[in-house]
Structures are given as C-alpha cells and as structure tokens.
Structure 1
Amino acid sequence: MRAIPRLPDGRLVLVKQHRGGWVLPGGLIDTNEKVQTALVREVLEECGLRVRGFGRLTGVYSDPKRDPRFHSLCIVMEVFVEGEMRPRDVMEIERAAAFALEALPEGLTGDCREQIEHYLAGAVVVD
C-alpha cells in the first residue's frame, strides 16, 4: 500500500530510498492491520508526518510484474499530513521532501510515476 501525502499548502511528500529513487511512502500491511492504520504507520515511519485525514482512494494495482520480489497488490490512497518531515526508518529512507505538483523530481522509481499521474488526472484505477 502507498500513500499520496499532501501538506496543507498542497505540496506532495515523497521519500528518497537509500537504494533507489524517489517513491511514495508505503509498505506492507501487517497481520491484523487495517489499511488506514497501515497508512498512518508508514507515513509516520517514512516521513515523520502525522496523518490528519484521509482523501480519496486513487487506485488498486495488481499487475503481477509490478514488484519483482513477489506478486503484491498495491492500494494507493490520498492522505492529508502535517508536522515536521523527519523519517524514523533511517535504515530504508534517506530523506523525505515536499514537491509542488508541477515540479516533481526526476527518478521516481517503480510504478510511482504512473500512480501519481493517475492521481493528478483524478482517475480511480483498478488494474
């Protein structure tokens, strides 16, 4: 699952992985964990930000080729965040940063660029 975190000023928060490029924050849902609980946890771990509200579900991505490690289902949801960007998962995340929607960084990895494009187009994708 991945979050599309939006700050009060409208900027989008992305995280830079130590081994890879910029991605939307997210990860695996723990056993007995709800999607919204996992989103809150992952955004806090990877960005250091608090989720203050949930927006729209933007996509469900299930292509078996989307993750080379295993077949994973990815749920993508908009969240509204606040606080100071300070990643807690420093073993995985190098840094978090906010970007204007028209100035997203180069080097978005995996299918994050596609997920963000769908979000910006207002689409709800089930793939």
Structure 2
Amino acid sequence: MLRLGQFFQTVLGIIFRHPVTGATIIPILPDGRIVLIRRHDTGKWSLPGGIVNWGEDIPTTVKRELEEETGLTLVKIHRLVGVYSAPDRDPRLHSIAVLVEASVQGTMGAQDTLEVSEVEAFAIGSLPKGDLSHDHDRQLQDYLSGVTTVA
C-alpha cells in the first residue's frame, strides 16, 4: 500500500509542479490581416491558442484551437516565432507557450463562446497593442520584428 501512495504522490507532483504546455497562434488571413480573440475572462484581446491535450502534438493543437476559438481553418504553419516560459507569463498558472505563425482561411466566429466573446481581424497598423492578454504584446512584437525568441 505504501508503494501505491508513493506512486500517487509522484504523479500528483508531476502534474501540479510542472508547467503546462500550450500553443499560441499568429493567424494570418489571405489579405494579411491578423486575427485576435477577445477573452471572456479578462475582456482583453489575445492571440488564439490553448493547452496541448494529452496525445496531441503542436500542429494538432494549433488546428484544434484555431477552429474552437476563431472558426478558421489552418492552411499552413509557416514558422516558429518563439517559446515563452516565464513563470508569470500567464496569471492563471505556469505555462509554456509555443508561438507559431500560420496561414488561415474560412469564416470567423467563436465556437467556444464560454472562452471567447469576439473574433476580429486587424490590419497590422490597427492592432490593439499595449494591453493584450498574458504576454501576447511581447509575442506579437517579436513576430512583427521578425525575431525568433526563447524566453
């Protein structure tokens, strides 16, 4: 019985004492606009994305999260923009975000209306920079600067 208790303690330690991995997307429409979502919990604009589910890889997570949060379909992942791992980057928990640039297509509309209140496409010059959710201002700036970041 002691071994079973140690096993559960180890599993719980792994689950609750390690960062959660997620994917964040810079979705680019065919006309060059960037798609953002407005989060229900904070009311702030955000890049779409979410946690990698058990058994998923990053491309599968990107495809799923795009569809759930924006209604858009993934055409192609173009580049890795960065990996963001600062413990305070997400106010809810310690998470690691893998940021990719992706071409998308389709009709915008939030599928997950519990998480997303609005979906909008912005020209680069009209992006609502300065008060994005999480560390998405930094992620967006890294993308626009053309750098690849590990932070």
- TM-score, normalized by length of structure 1? 0.96
1:45 paired with 2:68, answer yes
Q: Residues 1-127 of structure 1: matches in 2 within 5 Å?
A: 1-20=23-42, 21-106=44-129, 107-127=131-151
CA distance in 1, matches of 2:90, 2:39: 16
Question: Which has more radius of gyration?
Answer: 2
Aligned partner of residue 55 in structure 1, secondary structure: strand
1:125 Cα deviation from its structure 2 partner: 0.1
Q: Which structure 1 segments of 5+ residues have no match?
A: none
Q: Residue type of the partner of 1:119?
A: Y
CA RMSD of aligned residues (A): 0.9
- TM-score, normalized by length of structure 2? 0.81
Q: Which has the higher contact order (CA 8 A, sep 6+)?
A: 1
Greater share of helix: 2
1:124 Cα deviation from its structure 2 partner: 0.2
Task: Show CA shifts across 1:6-53 (max 9, x none).
Answer: 000000000001122000000100001010000000000000000011
Q: Which structure 2 segments of 5+ residues have no match?
A: 1-22
Q: How many residues align?
A: 127
CA distance in 1, matches of 2:36, 2:92: 22
Please identify runs of 4+ aligned residues in structure 1 that moved more than 4 A: none
